[in-house]
Amino acid sequence: MQVTVLTLAAVLAAPGKQGGAIATVIMGQSSALVAGVPIGRVVASHYDWNVIFIGIGAVGLLFSVLTLFAIPKTVAEKPVPLREQFKFFMRPRIAAYLLITFLWLGAYSVVFTYISPYFLDIFGMSNHGG
């Protein structure tokens, strides 16, 4: 999904503005995580944890429908055979970029997984509402 969104951002951006469009998408996703995790904790502390997933599903459905109308149609690119795609990954510079991205996203996920228990322990925050 992220690859599709980033590609679409680059395709729809004005010439020379593709980098800014991609950065805006990534910033939006990062901001959603930064805001969403604490909001999810608050909702889970006051309601059943299932409410979070129902809410995310409802918002996702809403934005999926809005996307159908808001994003213009684009011309599909010619498909690239899988063998050609793998050749691309074997280039040392590309492999290094992919490794850096993998480590960055892995570290990002670890931080957001353990930040809540850390705050609970270090700052004595309550795990329950009220």
Between the CA of residue 103 and those of 93, 96, 100, what are the distances in Å?
15, 11, 5
Q: Are residues 69 and 118 in the same domain?
A: no
Q: Are residues 65 and 84 in the same domain?
A: no
pLDDT for position 108 = 81
How many independent structural domains does the chain possess? 2
Rg (CA), the chain: 19
Q: Are residues 71 and 11 in the same domain?
A: yes
Q: Are residues 71 and 123 in the same domain?
A: no
Helix H segments across 47-91? 50-70, 82-89
Amino acid, res. 42: V
- Given a cut of 70, is residue 83 above it in pLDDT? yes
Q: pTM for the whole thing? A: 0.59
Domain boundary among 42, 57, 77: 77
Q: Are residues 57 and 116 in the same domain?
A: no
- pLDDT tens per residue, range 9-62: 999 999 999 999 999 999 998 898 888 888 888 888 888 888 889 999 999 999
The helix or strand, by DSSP H or E, that contains position 2, with its residue range, turns out to be: helix 2-12
Q: Are residues 117 and 97 in the same domain?
A: yes
Q: Are residues 52 and 96 in the same domain?
A: no
Alpha carbon distance 33, 109 (integer Å) = 10
DSSP 90: T
CB atoms within 10 A of CB 32: 11
